[in-house]
Amino acid sequence: MHSFGYRANSLLTFAVTILAFMCAIVSFSFSNQTPSAQIQILNINWFQKQPHGNDEVSLTLNITADLQSLFTWNTKQVFAFVAAEYKTSKNSLNQVSLWDAIIPEKEHAKFWIQISNKYRFIDQGYNLRRKDFNLTLHWHVMPKTGKMFADKIVMSGYSLPDAYR
């Protein structure tokens, strides 16, 4: 009853249980999160209908964001991406990711970047002419341990031209 093995076993079980409990409750410590972002479309580079029938557009975007308030001691990285959201007659929701980045540290979380879309903006069909769409900046906080959480900012009011160019 008092052998070394028995004591070591009890101690180890207790330690692992406490560790698991700590890993679990760490997910419930939310801090004040006030991220902000702005996206501008600087230019529509080109807007074509592909040979197999789908519309494709290439944009140059100007993205400004401050995601520093998302970083806590438990944050391993923040994955941020910009997606275009729009509705067509066939699909009630389309989301197309245009750009993403991995932010490993708080210092890199306040940034300004001007790029053309990293991923191709292709529709299922040819519905993009004169289309109004939202640009959303999503972030996904990946912790060192525990629950991951994600949220987004929706910016509306963007639209594509009437004709191909």
Partner 1 sequence: MGLVGETVDSIKSIQIRQLLTQAIRLGMIVTSALIIWKALICVTGSDSLVVVVLSESMEPGFQRGDILFLHMSKDPIRAGEIVVFNIDGRDIPIVHRVIMVHERENTGEVDVLTKGDNNPEDDRLLYAKGQLWLNRHHIMGRAVGFLPYVGWVTIIMTEKPIIKYILIGTLGLLVISSKD
Q: CB under 8 Å to 126, separation ≥6 — which residues?
A: 49, 53, 54, 55
- Map the footprint of partner 1 across residues 80-119, applying CB under 8 A: 81, 83, 89-97, 100, 102, 104, 119
When the beta carbons of 32 and 52 are compared against partner 1, the nearer one is 52
Residue (of 34, 37, 68, 20) closest to 153 by Cα position: 37
Nearer to partner 1, 76 or 165 (CB): 76
Print the binding letters for residues 5-44 with partner 1: x by CB under 8 A, - otherwise.
------------------x---x-----------------
Of residues 76, 116, 130, 132, which one binds partner 1 by CB under 8 A? Answer: 76
Decide: 74 and 143 in contact? Cβ < 8 Å. Answer: yes
Q: Nearest 5°: phi and psi at 9?
A: -60, -50
* Sheet of 132-143, strand order: 75-86, 132-143, 149-159
Any long-range contacts for 155-159 (C-beta under 8 Å, 24+ apart)? Answer: 155/37, 155/38, 155/39, 156/132, 157/132, 158/41, 158/84, 158/132, 158/133, 158/134, 159/130, 159/131, 159/132, 159/133
Distance in Å, CB of 106 to partner 1, minimum: 16
148 binds partner 1 (CB under 8 A): yes
Please identify, using beta-carbon distances, which residue of 47 and 127 lies nearer to partner 1.
Answer: 127
- Closest separation in Å from C-beta 31 to partner 1: 19
Give contact residues for partner 1 (rule: CB under 8 A).
23, 27, 76-77, 79, 81, 83, 89-97, 100, 102, 104, 119, 124, 138, 140, 142-148, 150, 152
